[in-house]
Amino acid sequence: MIQPNFKNELNQQQYEVVTAGDGPHLVLAGAGSGKTRTLVYRVAWLISQGVKPEKILLLTFTNKAANEMMVRAKAILGVAPKEKFSLWGGTFHSVANRLLRIYGKHIGLESDFTIMDTADTDTLLKLISKEFLKGLSEKRKPSPAIFRETISFANNSKISIEASLETKFPEWVPFLDIFEKITKEYQRRKQVAKLLDFDDLLLYWKKLTQDARAGETLAKKWDYILVDEYQDTNIIQAEIIFNLAKLHQNILVVGDDAQSIYSFRAANIKNILDFPKNFKNCKTHKLETNYRSTPEILDLANQVIAVNQNQFSKELSAINDSHVRPELVALRSNKEEAWFIADKIQQLLGREVRPSSIAVLFRASHYAQTLEMELNRRGIDYEMRGGLRFFERAHVKDVLSWLKVLGNHRDEVSWMRILQLYEGVGPVTAKLIYQQLASLDDISELMELKLNLAAKAGQSWSRISSLIDKLVKQRDKDVSQLIHLVIEQYSSYLMEKFPDYHQRQDDLDQLAIFAIDYDILEDFLSEISLQEGYSASQAKKENRESVILSTVHQAKGLEWAAVFVINMTDSAFPHPFAEEIEEERRLFYVAITRACRYLYLTYPLAVYRFDGYKSMSPSPFIGEVDGNLLNHNQLSKTTSYASSDGVSYVSDLDCQDNDDGDGFLPSVDNW
């Protein structure tokens, strides 16, 4: 083992954290400040001081992160990669699993328990809910996934099922009694069958730390505890940490309250804000040197987050050279916004910026639909992070299937998809129905079909044929109206099956808005086929770099040379249903700090809705910052054309900078 020169390999702030003495330590690590590097060197320093690796506990939010940290710590110390390193490292859940196998008997938990994954949990809840929902008169019934998320959020937030429902799924509050009964039965069956879900791992670990004998054993097991991403912990995890460290107090947590954005997963920002209160004599450290972004980007980020009241004050400073200011660009419509972004992406690509070094970020995935269409048309490769491309999403495909059978009633693939959405219709029954449908000369003859079906299948067929009849009668209407007819019936299916049905509904609303431009069904379906064909061809391309499209939540922890944050309107960012404005501002801060050199904030002045264009205003977060921190751009040379809906659009965008400097897009270094 070698003795590293820690002082030469770290900046002063990092060095002070790495070599900090015993006791509680809170490390406020700003974006791009080398948080992981600091943690790794802390592990290496402790071992270099004679601490045995097995006396160190390192908790991270992914096992991959823990493993990578341990590999890097070995390299720093000159330890061979294959040499045994007995440090306890991993996620809260993985460490809990190991401990419960060893010590679970102290709290009545046998070591041969089985851990259920999400699919297993849903299966068990489905079995239970069938019993409790039997005979329910309401047509709508919550899915197993909705029960699972309600129970999980209640567990991780230490709140009641009622409070969880009010927070997550208020529309299901009338079903509270059923939710409570199913929760109770779910807990009973798990116990009988020796099953633990992911939440149980934490709850039992907490219980273990509270046991007189086991708690004392665990408190003495590790001399030093390190926790990464502490701002993302929930209240149960914080209580576990407190119980483990209360004896020796050698606890060091690293996080950034300015990047606490996961309250919907039960993450509690109070854990990091209250850490100095919970651990007396806590020493607070700040990592404020940013190695990622330019001074101009950090100036904007610092001012954005400074508005929040519930936070630790910090000021990020850059080591990178000065560059161009972030751009604020107002476009006349969301279509122009898509054209603008596509234009700028092409310019960046033409100036040797790698596709994978460009990211487009948005508050919610449906905001990217118009841009996806434009990127497809231009043949710009892109990757949708954390989700599927718009036309690959199951709910979008479901709705489109109705239009496809309206255009071609012998479309077997679409019919099989539609039919099996309904209760009582399996693959065999669906095939029999399709065979009769295919024999018709025209879809208008469908209502005359006499099908010999079982009761549930017959009821489902009645709903299907009724909707088809409505679509046939309005076949000459514009495509958007046809989509709305489908959505009216399909929405209840979404609500029953998916916890994220609100987001899925937003996608379908966006599909209907997109269809407004099409009066003829055949033209719309042809455009969709081209989009689907492009997605399919993209899927076959291997080892090809792509521009990244991502929600801001999915982008946390990542960085790109150029970042676009789109649809920065007052109705989109902050999210209209957001309960906590400060968390939304933290989310905006996260978006800004993903950018290394180029940052573009865009928003449409108007967005097309079903009743025409709706005027938009910029996000209030824009109005909170000094305008001098941004280059404000306006349209100059434009070429207009009249579309099929009679609205004039701009096809050739050229933005002009109000600054006398390098212009809108200066030359790009080689990224």
User: Which residue is associated with the tokens 């944050």?
Assistant: 565
Distances (CA, A) of 156 to 99, 181, 183, 200, 237: 19, 19, 14, 10, 9
Q: Which stretches does DSSP call E strand in 205-353?
A: 224-227, 251-255, 283-287, 289-290, 317-318, 327-331
- Give the side-chain half-sphere CA count within 13 A for 567: 24
Q: What is the C-alpha R_g of the chain?
A: 28
309 belongs to the catalytic site = no
Cis peptide before 574 (omega within 30 of 0): yes
Catalytic residue among 150, 259, 370, 569: 259
Catalytic residue among 9, 19, 36, 249: 36
Q: Are 316 and 294 in contact, with CB atoms under 8 Å apart?
A: no
Angle between helical axes of 212-221 and 198-210 (0-180°, round to 10):
100
Catalytic residue among 13, 14, 35, 417: 35
Helix (H, G, I), strand (E, B) or coil at 375: helix
Catalytic residue among 149, 199, 200, 229: 229
Return the DSSP state at 318.
Answer: E
Q: Cα separation of 324 and 665, whole Å? A: 9
Distances (CA, A) of 114 to 286, 337, 568: 42, 51, 46
Return the DSSP state at 111.
Answer: T
105 belongs to the catalytic site = no
Catalytic residue among 149, 197, 200, 228: 228
Q: Which helix (H) or strand (E) holds 279?
A: none
Distances (CA, A) of 200 to 11, 197, 317: 41, 5, 42
Instruction: Identify the CA nearest to 92 among candidates 212, 239, 192.
Output: 239
594 belongs to the catalytic site = yes
Helix, strand, coil abundance in the chain, percent, nearest 5? 55, 15, 35
Q: Are 505 and 464 in contact, with CB atoms under 8 Å apart?
A: no
Q: Are 591 and 555 in contact, with CB atoms under 8 Å apart?
A: yes
Q: Which helix (H) or strand (E) holds 655?
A: strand 655-657
Q: Are 15 and 47 in contact, with CB atoms under 8 Å apart?
A: no
Q: Which helix (H) or strand (E) holds 244?
A: helix 235-245
Q: Cα separation of 390 and 114, whole Å? A: 37
662 belongs to the catalytic site = no
Calculated CA dihedral for residues 41, 43, 47, 48, nearest 10 degrees: 10
- Which positions ≥6 away from 250 have C-beta within 8 Å? 22, 23, 24, 223, 224, 225
Q: Are 390 and 620 in contact, with CB atoms under 8 Å apart?
A: no
Catalytic residue among 586, 594, 597, 602: 594
Residue 370 is which amino acid?
A: T
User: Which residue is associated with the tokens 């306006």?
Assistant: 634
Q: Cα separation of 342 and 374, whole Å? A: 7
Q: Are strands 648-650 and 640-642 parallel, antiparallel or unpaired?
A: antiparallel
229 belongs to the catalytic site = yes
Instruction: Identify the CA nearest to 267 among candidates 252, 281, 257, 278.
Output: 257
150 belongs to the catalytic site = no
User: Which residue is associated with the tokens 């980020």?
Assistant: 301
End-to-end CA distance of the chain: give it in Å, rounded: 37
Instruction: Identify the CA nearest to 548 among candidates 540, 535, 560.
Output: 560
Q: Are strands 631-635 and 655-657 parallel, antiparallel or unpaired?
A: antiparallel
DSSP 545-558: --EEEEEHHHHTT-
Distances (CA, A) of 174 to 135, 140, 177: 16, 12, 8
Active site residues: 35-36, 228-229, 259, 594
